[in-house]
Structure 1
Amino acid sequence: MEEVIVKLYAEVLLAVLFTIGYLVLLVQKRQWIHLGKVAPSKRQSLRKIEKRVDCVVKVVGGICVIVMVVWRVIPGILDFPNAMAGNYEHTTGEVVVWDYSRETRKQARSIEVLDSHTNEKVHVIVYSTGVHKEEHLKITYLKNSRFGIIEERW
């Protein structure tokens, strides 16, 4: 489980650094996009385009920052006490939704397991080799971020 926790908090740290960098650049109120030197006849029309492109880049960057904070940072912060205390959630059940990526490579895989005790679907991101439909798994995961590992397969 330690490997999963390290990967989660590495992603959280990168998201926080990206957010801080974005906010620092935003506070400076400088133009981010400069389209370079052009002929004097086209300079005026290019300035209008530069301002529009700059505005679009700032808005798209802001949306990316918001998504990263909501998707990784907040759940990671909420899971920090549980990760330090070793309080993990457990589920056992059959895979109903799985990741089709490379079978032999160990990587993050987004899966859903139909819990055998509650009959509810549990969405979890596990670091594992290939996972298949109808495979039975025992999974340990963090409650808020849903990052976990596969303990057993059968």
Structure 2
Amino acid sequence: MKCSDCGHAFSSKTDSEPTYYDPLKSILAYLLAGYGLINGVETAKDIFQSATGSKIDFSDLQERVDNIQQNNQLPDDLKQVARRLSWLDKVLLIEAAYLLIFTARPIEYEERLKINLLANAMEIGLEGVDAIIKHLRDQDYKGFAPLQIPN
């Protein structure tokens, strides 16, 4: 169900967190694990806070990284949750994915392909991804710097 005040989807009226919090944590963990960004945890936590206004515990993020390393099915998982997300939720998920990669390495073909794969799982086409990235650029990447995560 979508909240008319904030634009986020919630699983029920009694939920305290919007539906996109869980996939956001998983996307950040997926990218941390996939790119071996052990030094990127603090940046991932900052990106989560920027997208949600809430904090994420290191242990929660680490547990998800461990789960991703054992069961690498995030795109399939996103397909399942996508129908319950609002457009705003999906935009925030793609922004977070882009920002984490942007802060870790130059965005080249492989990185863009990974972002497009995540977007496609949520039924966002290439034009939508391009618009989301342009919006991030217009917002000066929400204050995140390229390559701010040390290798």
Do these two structures clear the TM 0.5 threshold for a shared fold by scoring above it? no
Q: TM-score, with normalisation over the residues of structure 2?
A: 0.22
Bigger relative contact order (CA 8 A; separation at least 6): 2
| Higher Rg | 1
Q: TM-score, with normalisation over the residues of structure 1?
A: 0.22
Structure whose residues are more often helix by fraction: 2
